[in-house]
């Protein structure tokens, strides 16, 4: 026989899962309703003609990424390399 504590935990997990599932489904339903209302209001016009990443070459994106990482972690890298790590 399962102990009372284990039964309470199982019941709590089941009720919590059901509650979270209901909340997620309601949020999804609201999101889909909002999207369909906006599509009906503004039509199915796409506001973006081309993908954002296609406007830059891959080398430019990699260069920007490397600059951002260097700027963010530059002082940490310098301190670790000065200690011989």
pLDDT-derived band at 1, boundaries 50, 70, 90: confident
C-alpha–C-alpha distance, residues 14 and 49, integer Å: 46
- Mean of the per-residue pLDDT values of the chain: 83
Provide the token pair at 57: 């070459």
The rounded radius of gyration (Å) of the Cα atoms in the chain is 26
- pTM for this entry: 0.44
Amino acid 61: pLDDT:
83
Domain residues of the chain, as ranges?
1-46, 48-85
């Amino acid at each position: 026989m399962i102990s009372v504590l284990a039964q309470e935990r199982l019941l709590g997990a089941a009720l919590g899962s059901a509650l979270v599932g209901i909340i997620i489904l309601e949020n999804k339903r609201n999101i889909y309703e909002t999207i369909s209302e906006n599509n009906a209001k503004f039509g199915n016009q796409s506001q973006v003609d081309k993908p954002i990443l296609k406007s830059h070459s891959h080398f430019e994106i990699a260069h920007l990424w490397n600059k951002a990482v260097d700027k963010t972690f530059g002082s940490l890298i310098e301190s670790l390399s000065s200690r011989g790590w």
